[in-house]
């Protein structure tokens, strides 16, 4: 797998298929990037599990912190690693002891460990490095375009104001909502022969 560039369909298939996400390095401090990512993904319907031994006994958006992946006590679809690159291999090693194995290991922006990725992939786990699921979700669902960021979808129409329960192109309902007609049309037109 080329971890320098990911096909949108690879990222989309991950975000559409996972339901539970354990965020290693989650923080209850509401100005930390992990807090924003955790909250955003929880609002999009993912079952979020905060993992941080320094915050056991606390909660993040009503979800109790656990000290380690092995303390979760139930299957997890994806492990989102919000730690620096030097801390990735121990997380991957712990993930490989879980039964059943997670389907995805995702390393946040700035985090990359090719040896850990190779180890996880050898066990049949999909890997994403140096990406943020919050950003990728927003980009692929066209939510990110509401903030003026180039989503690579051209349209002269202004996106509708987000409302509760609007369908997103990632086939999830959003608490904030958002129509994705332009991106759905672009994807359809791209797949049709010319």
Tell whether the model's pLDDT for residue 166 goes beyond 70: no
Domain boundaries defined on the chain: 8-134, 151-191
Average pLDDT, the chain: 84
Question: 3-state SS of the chain?
Answer: CCCCCCCHHHHHHHHHHCCEEEEECCCCCCCCHHHHHHHHHHHCCCEEEEECHHHECEEECCEECECCHHHCCCCCCEEEECCCHHHHHHHHHHHCCCCCCCCEEEECCCCCCHHHHHHHHHCCCEEECCCCHHHHHHHHHCHHHHHCCCCCCCCCCCCCCCCCCCECCCCCECCCCCCCHHHHHHHHHHHCCC
Query: Tens digits of per-residue pLDDT, 33-74?
Result: 999 999 999 999 999 999 999 999 999 999 999 999 999 999
Cβ 3 vs Cβ 58: under 8 Å: no
Query: Tens digits of per-residue pLDDT, 102-141?
Result: 999 999 999 999 999 999 999 999 999 999 999 999 888 8
pLDDT at residue 157 in the model: 59
Kindly list the distances between the CA atom of residue 86 and the CA atoms of 115, 116, 159, 184, in Å, as whole numbers in the listed order.
11, 10, 41, 39
How many residues in the chain? Answer: 194
Kindly report the pTM of this predicted structure: 0.76
| 49 vs 186, more confident | 49
Tell whether the model's pLDDT for residue 92 goes beyond 80: yes
Question: What CATH number labels 8-134?
Answer: 3.40.50.720
């Amino acid at each position: 797998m080329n971890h320098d560039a990911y096909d949108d369909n690879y990222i989309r298939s991950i975000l559409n298929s996972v339901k539970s996400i354990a965020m290693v390095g989650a923080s209850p401090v509401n100005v930390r990037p992990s807090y924003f990512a955790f909250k955003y993904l929880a609002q999009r319907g993912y079952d979020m599990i905060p993992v941080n031994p320094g915050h056991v006994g606390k909660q993040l958006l009503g979800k109790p912190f656990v000290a380690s992946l092995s303390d979760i006590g139930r299957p997890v679809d994806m492990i989102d690693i919000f730690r620096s690159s030097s801390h990735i291999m121990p997380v991957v090693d712990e993930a490989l002891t879980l039964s059943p194995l997670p389907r995805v290991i995702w390393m946040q922006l700035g985090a990359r460990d090719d040896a850990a990725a190779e180890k996880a992939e050898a066990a049949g786990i999909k890997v994403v490095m140096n990406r943020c699921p919050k950003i990728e979700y927003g980009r692929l669902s066209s939510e990110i375009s509401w903030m003026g960021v180039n989503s690579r979808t051209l349209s002269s129409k202004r996106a509708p104001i987000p409302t509760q329960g609007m369908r997103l192109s990632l086939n999830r309902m959003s608490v904030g909502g958002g129509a994705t007609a332009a991106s759905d049309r672009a994807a359809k037109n791209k797949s049709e022969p010319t």
